[in-house]
Amino acid sequence: MPDVALVDPELTLTLPRHITTACGLDAVSQLIESYTSTKANVSIDALALKALSHASESLLPLALGQSNDISLREKMSWTALVSGIELSRSGLGAVHGIAGPLGGLCPVPHGIACGKLLFPVMSFVIKKIIEEKNTAAQKRFADIGKVFTGNAGGDDVFYCRQFLEVLDKWTRMLKLPQLSRFGMTALHMGKIIELSDSKNSPAILSPEEMKIILEVVR
């Protein structure tokens, strides 16, 4: 754990696109997982939603051509800082529960692993919290869906689906590479699944579901 973290947007102006994208998606994953954690700390909810709003305004433009816009860099840097504060208070979920062992067993950059896992993992989590009628978790994901798309009426299940649509759109536009490019093979999958867990996710992923997710990102 660092004693001090210096977060200076100016230092990020020259970051290459692939690092901006991967680290941005890591911060977004951390915010989503901690906001929807079973240990979510309500005292910092407003901060987390503000950070997700900043991410939704800045991540795509930064990654797709406006990389030297300091106001966008400020928003994304603040988002990343808040994501670190959030995860230390509320814990993380299934994206990081898989990304940890995956990164330990294969030389996949952490942000790429999280960015690739985000949409398929959240698809399973949303499906399960709807099937299990977990309305408390649905409300948390719906809060994020409203931040991403604006509140135009609709129930929590509607905004859970909006949330997923936005993640799908972002990950398709950002075009992260498949993880086989970094050396992940089918042979790694059994061990990754054995070591992975869902951390504080409101839905627990089975080994079979993790296998499907890993096939998608490999």
Could you list the residues that contact Fe ion (CB under 5 A)? 26
* CB-CB contact of 118 with 28 (8 Å): yes
Nearest residue to Fe ion, by Cβ distance, number only: 26
If the CB atoms of residues 113 and 142 are measured against Fe ion, the closer one turns out to be 113
**Phi, psi (deg, nearest 5) at residue 208:** -65, -40
- Stated length of the chain: 218
- Residue with the two structure tokens 């906001």: 35
Residues 6 or more apart whose CB falls under 8 angstroms from that of 45 comprise 35, 143
- DSSP designation for 205: P
What minimum distance in Å lies between the beta carbon of 158 and Fe ion? Answer: 29
What minimum distance in Å lies between the beta carbon of 96 and Fe ion? Answer: 6
If the CB atoms of residues 26 and 86 are measured against Fe ion, the closer one turns out to be 26
- DSSP designation for 152: -
What minimum distance in Å lies between the beta carbon of 29 and Fe ion? Answer: 6
Q: Which of 210, 176, 203 is nearest to 101 (CA)?
A: 210
If the CB atoms of residues 140 and 199 are measured against Fe ion, the closer one turns out to be 199
If the CB atoms of residues 99 and 130 are measured against Fe ion, the closer one turns out to be 99
What minimum distance in Å lies between the beta carbon of 112 and Fe ion? Answer: 11
